[in-house]
Structure 1
Amino acid sequence: MNRKLSRTDHRIHRFDTLLRMLVPHAARTSRPSPATPEIRDEPLSEAERRHAAGVMRVNHTGEVCAQALYQGQGCSAQRPEVRDQLEQAAREELDHLAWCAERLAELHDRPSRLNPLFYAASFGLGAVAGAVGERVGLGLVAATEEQAGRLLEKHLVKLPPGDHRSRAVLRQLAVDEAHHAQLAIEAGGLRFPAPIQAGMALMAKVMTRSVYKI
């Protein structure tokens, strides 16, 4: 019989996840990467390689932020079913994190050095939103995932034409992010008004520009 997890268990799980996020190559996946061995790139120029790495670095940091947001929200979620839903989504986001890290390694590049900063900011934002109210916290999750989906659509267009492996990863990320956003709304998340969504889009733009090279 499965033992019901206590709040201490959840805290230990979150700390373990934090270590796996911030330590290079420590994240473990529950699903294989969409960039299967059968998918092969066409030859990339050095400029194309650097650009593809920049795009994947941005998405890797986006997954760090998503993990932090879910963990922060999970600290204040009152309903056990909502907390379980958030942790399941966080596990899927950990797959995303590992896939992006694997692809960065294939491109002979590295994650952003700014990841700890973005993790702390996103965790705090998730915890505050959850403390204000569960519907607000879930609304923040939904809005963030929808924003991530729009960013992924742009990145799929911007990738070098011959970079098929990065494209396979980002397509699966887009599917999962849309699903997470839908679940958050169905669980009672608020639909944020346009001005708040515009502010979030601006923050995403700042993150993208700073992480692309650093």
Structure 2
Amino acid sequence: MNRQLSRTDNLIHQFDTVLRTLVPHAAQASRPSPATPEVRDEPMDDEERRHAAGLMRINHTGEVCAQALYQGQGLTAKLPEVRGQMEEAASEEIDHLAWCDERLRELGDRPSLLNPLFYAASFGIGAAAGAVGDRVSLGFVAATEEQVGRHLEEHLVRLPAGDHRSRAVLRQMAIDEAHHAQLALEAGGARFPVPVKFGMKLMSKVMTGSVYRV
């Protein structure tokens, strides 16, 4: 029989999740990185490495936002099975977070300094979506994951030709994100109208434009 967590236990778990998300190198992946030792980069000049790091920093911040979004939604979700789905998806997103962090280190760079700000904003959005209702919350997950998938496909094209290790990571992330979106819709998530998705796209542009260098 599973023991129900007390309010104190939940607070400790939430705080631990925040630390693992925001403290550099704290996230631990449950799956090995797709950038295995056999995947090797071709020579890149300094500008190419900076560009690759900027793209991977965007993807790392995207995973920070995903963690906050799922955490906020999990707190306010109505149905236990929806909370469970949020927790499972968040676990896979931790893998993405750790893989991007590892790749940034390989490129000699760091995560964005703006991550705490985007974490707080995403947590609030997730909690609000969950409070409205599980159908809206799941629909928001699906719309977000679809948008992330488009970003990943764009980054796969924009990466330097010789950056095979970043490309391996992003390919697996794209597969996982598409799976999360499909699960959310199958669980009853609402399909958001185009104007809402356009608003989400504008917000994502603020994030991508600011963390590429900061």
1:110-125 → structure 2 map (5 Å cutoff):
110-125=110-125
Residue 103 (str. 1) matches residue 103 (str. 2): yes
Residue 88 (str. 1) matches residue 88 (str. 2): yes
Give 1:138's aligned residue: 138
**Paired amino acid for 2:114:** L
Superposition misfits of 4+ residues, deviation over 6 angstroms: none
Give the whole-Å Cα distance in 2 for the aligned partners of 1:201 and 1:4: 41
Unaligned runs of 5+ in 2: none
The alignment's TM-score, normalised by the length of structure 2, stands at 0.97
Residue 3 (str. 1) matches residue 38 (str. 2): no
Aligned length: 213
Give the whole-Å Cα distance in 2 for the aligned partners of 1:131 and 1:184: 17
**Paired amino acid for 1:25:** H
The alignment's TM-score, normalised by the length of structure 1, stands at 0.97
Q: How far is the alpha carbon of 1:91 from its aligned partner? A: 0.6
Give 1:152's aligned residue: 152
**Paired amino acid for 2:142:** A
Give 1:172's aligned residue: 172
- Secondary structure in 2 matching 1:192: coil
**Paired amino acid for 1:194:** V
Q: How far is the alpha carbon of 1:7 from its aligned partner? A: 5.7
Unaligned runs of 5+ in 1: none
Give the whole-Å Cα distance in 2 for the aligned partners of 1:104 and 1:29: 15
**Paired amino acid for 1:32:** P
Give the whole-Å Cα distance in 1 for the aligned partners of 2:6 and 2:34: 34
1:1-214 → structure 2 map (5 Å cutoff):
3-6=2-5, 8=7, 9-214=9-214
Is the contact between residue 78 and residue 133 of structure 2 (CA under 8 Å) also seen in structure 1? Answer: no
